[in-house]
Amino acid sequence: MEKIKAIVNGVEKELSVKYSTEPLLDVLRRGGFVGVKEGCREGQCGACVVLIDGMPGNSCLYPAFRAAGKKITTIEGLGRPDNLNEIQKAFLESGAVQCGYCTPGIVLSTKALLEKNSAPSEDDIRVALDGNLCRCTGYVKIVSAVKLAAERIGKK
């Protein structure tokens, strides 16, 4: 077991890594960040997406050691239940959440998109979220939620 240091949700954290290829997903979940979801462990579903220095990445494929010194954002770093951020609010209000298992990953992919592109087109949204699978919603309301969030953040 070795320790690495990373900035998780703005706070420096010491994370224990069990073996050299241990994925960031497992290290973060063991560290209490259980909003990072496991869906396939093969980089295909996006449930485990976190932001690594602002870029969305599948934490199931990302060796935890490579996260040393980097800024990691998980869903726990966004708004809390009594203080949702604009993206979370937009997802809730648009009906973009059903079972909610894919939601943390999609909200984080949305955050990465909107930080890069504050007024994304429908195509931009579809491309940005293509790595996040959702089986419940049919994505219609997810796309609307991203548009709504972009609009509200743009107005601020």
Partner 1 sequence: MENKTNQFQQVGKNKLKVDGQALVTGGPQFVADYYVPDMLWAKVLYSPHAHARIKKIDTSQAEKLPGVKAVLTYKDVPRIPFTTAGQGAPEPSAYDTFILDSKVRFVGDKVAIVAAETEAIAEEAVKLIKVEYEVLKAVFDPRDALKKGAPLIHDEKEAHMPLPLFYDKTKNICAHADFKTGDLEKGFKGADFIIEHDYDIHYATHTSIETHITTVYFDPHGRIVILTSTQVPFHVRRITARALNIPAKKIRVIKPRIGGGFGGKQEVLLEPLVTALALKAKQAVCLKYTRSEEFISSRCRHPQLIHLKTGVKKDGTITAIDINIVMNNGAYGSHGLTILCNTGSKVLPLLKCDNISFYGDVAYTNYPVCGAYRGYGATEGYFAMGIQLDVMAEKIGTDILEWFKKIHIKVGETSPVFAALGEGREGVEQNITSCGLDKCIELGAKEIGWYGKRRQKQTGRFRRGVGTIIMMQGSAIPEIDMGAAFIKMNEDGSFNMLLGATDLGTGSDTIMAQIAAEVLAVETDKMIVYSSDTDFTPFDVGAYASSTTYLSGQAVIKAAQKVKEQILGVASEMLNEPKEDLTVKDSKVIGKKGEVSYSDISNYSLYTKNQFQIMAGDSHIVHKSPPPFAAHFAEVEVDMLTGKVRVIKYVCAIDCGTAINPQMAEGQSEGAVLNGISYALTERYIFSETGKMLNPNFDYYKIFGTRDLPEMKTILVPTYEPTGPFGAKSVSEISINGPCPVISNAIYDATGVRIYKTPFTPDKVLAAINKK
Binding site for partner 1 (CB under 8 A): 29, 34-42, 44-45, 47, 74-76, 78-82, 84, 88, 91-95, 97-104, 107, 125-127, 129-143
| Residue in the structure block whose two tokens are 């976190």 | 50
Contact indicator for 17, 31 with CB cutoff of 8 Å: no
Could you tell me the smallest distance in angstroms from the CB atom of residue 123 to partner 1? 9
7 or 34, CB closer to partner 1? 34
Q: Alpha-carbon distance 110 to 150, whole Å?
A: 9
50 or 67, CB closer to partner 1? 50
Could you tell me the smallest distance in angstroms from the CB atom of residue 28 to partner 1? 11
Could you tell me the smallest distance in angstroms from the CB atom of residue 105 to partner 1? 9
Could you tell me the smallest distance in angstroms from the CB atom of residue 134 to partner 1? 7
Write the single-letter amino acid at 147. Answer: K
* DSSP conformational letter for 54: T
- The most distant pair of C-alpha atoms in the chain lies apart, rounded to whole Å, by 47
19 or 53, CB closer to partner 1? 19
12 or 21, CB closer to partner 1? 21
6 or 113, CB closer to partner 1? 113
Q: Alpha-carbon distance 117 to 98, whole Å?
A: 26
What are the distances in angstroms from CA 149 to CA 1, 7, 111?
Answer: 41, 26, 9
